[in-house]
């Protein structure tokens, strides 16, 4: 982040908010194609993703060639979002912000963020099976609130030139048809049970899809239309977290990062480093042991897809167990928590031995899942984040706390502590409370009230959803 002393008071560049009437309309496919199209033309494009999402940003980062951060008014706060947009405007020819769910869904919604920062909206809609009705839906979105402006429609999965003509003729004059993306399976991005397939797993395939999408949009003259939009001015906003104290100076934090553990906010890594920590990445799948470290972070991911390999890497499991016995601080989030349990049953019904740091058994549970915004009520302080999983943890100890839901009084996800291990289904957004995160990874003993007794009577936790 830029130093407040040297930063100008504001920065401006064209910016567009990519939204949709619902999930599954092709927002990420179109945003990635837009980013690649502009990149191919030599433009600097900065892309942001609204809401708690790990998979889409990795895809968008590959398409744009630049890091992709989250913008979320509840999880990150207005000042954080304002500063990220301001910093992007200092270097970008165009800013793209991809929304989440439908335009008006959630509290706060994509529309709330677009309205707050004066971002013109481009609606992406899957128009398969409709024509004039697509125009009616766009007109309804445009008239639902008077504090947003829809700059145009991108009709996704358009069947023919005649299909395009029918939609264009029916649209209100204030909302032009910017582009029609053909109905072509080779343009769509591959998905699995928690969302898109991770970019690293299908990098070459994604490249072909990005280029095909970019070519389709370039033929519509979309780059010129977007770059010609009036610039949006972003004022700088000082942040308490802009230059946090070096609370973690001299500390080395080992971060698991591979195909099994990849749900990592870039903002979390950035904060740890700005607090003085040295980060050492390692692979629980492939490496023979931990790097030298003072603390350990096991983020979320897909351990259920790699459980056999995780179980087979006995040297790594032994090394992490030694770190646990030596009271190194360990944070295990969602997939990392499943890895910390005694066993994990994968989607094929096969059970594998995991770390055994936290008593209990993890198992996948089909299509049912949990998701929602929650605040982790840690002894070190509260930290906002979210839950998103399709597994269940059973036979675990009594939790030391639960997440606090954004809008519902029922207890959220359980938070466990064994020695210096903190384990939960919640994914934490570190910039929400840097001081609490620093205490979480700092050395030192914890009191009895902050930890589960390893020999406590276990219970089956029911992990609810918003």
- Which pTM does this prediction carry? 0.87
Percentage above 70 pLDDT, the chain: 86
Verify that 266 and 204 share a domain, yes or no. Answer: no
Verify that 230 and 196 share a domain, yes or no. Answer: yes
Structure confidence by residue, pLDDT tens digits, 206-221: 888 889 999 999 999 9
Determine, yes or no, domain membership for 156.
yes
Determine, yes or no, domain membership for 58.
yes
Verify that 171 and 273 share a domain, yes or no. Answer: no
Cα dihedral: 224, 229, 230, 235 (round 10):
-100
Count of other CB atoms within 10 angstroms of residue 257: 20
How many whole angstroms separate alpha carbon 279 and alpha carbon 282? 10
First to last CA, the chain: 34
Catalytic residues: 334
Average pLDDT over residues 189-201: 50
Q: Is the pLDDT of residue 237 over 70?
A: no
* pLDDT for the residue numbered 208: 86
Determine, yes or no, domain membership for 212.
yes
How many whole angstroms separate alpha carbon 260 and alpha carbon 101? 26
* pLDDT for the residue numbered 390: 81
Q: Is the pLDDT of residue 445 over 60?
A: no
CA distances from 260 to 48, 95, 338, 344, 350 (A): 24, 31, 11, 13, 17
CA distances from 331 to 23, 27, 152, 335, 426 (A): 31, 33, 44, 11, 11
Verify that 312 and 348 share a domain, yes or no. Answer: yes
We report the CATH number of the domain holding residue 308 as 3.40.50.880
Alpha carbons within 13 angstroms on the beta-carbon side of residue 170 total: 18
**Banded pLDDT at 78 (limits 50, 70, 90):** very high
Verify that 187 and 135 share a domain, yes or no. Answer: yes
How many whole angstroms separate alpha carbon 30 and alpha carbon 213? 7
Average pLDDT over residues 35-50: 96
Verify that 211 and 283 share a domain, yes or no. Answer: no
* Sequence-ordered list of residues with C-beta below 8 angstroms from that of 21, at least 6 positions apart, any chain: 102, 103, 123, 125, 137, 141
How many whole angstroms separate alpha carbon 427 and alpha carbon 422? 12
Verify that 91 and 29 share a domain, yes or no. Answer: yes
**Banded pLDDT at 54 (limits 50, 70, 90):** confident
Average pLDDT over residues 394-422: 92
We report the CATH number of the domain holding residue 158 as 3.40.50.300
Residues 439, 381: contact at Cβ < 8 Å?
yes
* Sequence-ordered list of residues with C-beta below 8 angstroms from that of 429, at least 6 positions apart, any chain: 52, 70, 72, 75, 76, 265, 267, 268, 383, 384, 385, 386
Q: Is the pLDDT of residue 125 over 90?
A: yes
Alpha helices, DSSP H, located in 326-442: 335-340, 434-441
How many whole angstroms separate alpha carbon 20 and alpha carbon 114? 13
Verify that 77 and 136 share a domain, yes or no. Answer: yes
Determine, yes or no, domain membership for 397.
yes
Cα 116 to chain centroid, rounded: 21
Verify that 105 and 221 share a domain, yes or no. Answer: yes
Average pLDDT over residues 342-353: 93
Q: Which of 323, 328, 435 is nearest to 378 (CA)?
A: 435
Determine, yes or no, domain membership for 417.
yes
Average pLDDT over residues 77-103: 95
Give the count of domains, the chain.
2
Verify that 87 and 160 share a domain, yes or no. Answer: yes
**Domain limits for position 108:** 10-235
- Residue written as token pair 């940003």: 57
């Amino acid at each position: 982040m830029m130093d407040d002393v040297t930063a100008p008071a504001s920065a401006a560049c064209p910016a567009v908010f990519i939204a949709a009437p619902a999930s599954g309309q092709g927002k990420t496919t179109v945003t990635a194609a837009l980013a690649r199209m502009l990149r191919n033309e030599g433009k600097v494009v900065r892309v942001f993703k609204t809401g708690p999402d790990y998979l889409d940003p990795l895809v968008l980062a590959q398409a744009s060639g630049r890091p992709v951060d989250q913008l979320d008014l509840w999880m990150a706060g207005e000042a954080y979002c304002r500063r990220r947009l301001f910093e992007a405007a200092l270097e970008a020819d165009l800013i793209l912000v991809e929304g989440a769910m439908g335009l008006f869904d959630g509290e706060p919604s994509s529309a709330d963020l677009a309205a707050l920062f004066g971002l013109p909206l481009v609606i992406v809609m899957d128009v398969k099976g409709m024509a004039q009705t697509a125009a009616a839906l766009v007109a309804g979105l445009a008239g639902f609130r008077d504090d947003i402006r829809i700059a145009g429609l991108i009709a996704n999965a358009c069947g023919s030139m005649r299909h395009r003509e029918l939609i264009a003729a029916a649209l209100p004059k204030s909302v032009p048809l910017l582009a029609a993306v053909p109905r072509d399976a080779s343009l769509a991005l591959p998905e699995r049970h928690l969302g898109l397939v991770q970019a690293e797993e299908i990098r070459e395939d994604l490249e072909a899809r990005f280029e095909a999408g970019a070519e389709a949009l370039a033929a519509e003259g979309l780059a010129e239309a977007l770059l010609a939009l009036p610039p949006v001015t972003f004022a700088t906003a000082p942040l308490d977290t802009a230059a946090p104290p070096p609370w973690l100076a001299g500390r080395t934090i080992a971060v698991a990062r591979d195909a099994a553990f990849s749900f990592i906010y870039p903002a979390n890594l950035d904060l740890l480093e700005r607090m003085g920590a040295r980060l050492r990445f390692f692979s629980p799948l492939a490496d023979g042991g931990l790097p030298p470290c003072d603390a350990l972070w096991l983020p979320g991911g897909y351990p259920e897809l790699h459980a056999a390999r995780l179980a087979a890497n006995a040297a790594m499991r032994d090394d992490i167990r030694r770190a646990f016995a030596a009271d190194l601080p360990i944070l295990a989030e969602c997939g990392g928590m499943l890895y910390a349990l005694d066993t994990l049953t994968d989607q094929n019904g096969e059970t594998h031995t995991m770390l055994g740091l936290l008593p209990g058994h993890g198992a996948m549970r089909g299509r049912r899942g949990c998701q929602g915004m929650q605040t982790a009520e840690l002894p070190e302080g509260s930290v906002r984040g979210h839950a998103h999983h399709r597994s269940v943890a059973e036979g675990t100890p009594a939790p030391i706390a639960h997440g606090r839901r954004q809008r519902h009084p029922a207890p959220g996800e359980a938070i466990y502590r064994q020695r210096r291990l903190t384990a939960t289904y919640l994914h934490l957004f570190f910039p929400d409370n840097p001081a609490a995160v620093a205490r979480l990874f700092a050395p030192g003993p914890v009191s009895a009230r902050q930890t589960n007794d390893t020999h406590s009577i276990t219970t089956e936790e029911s992990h609810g959803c918003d």
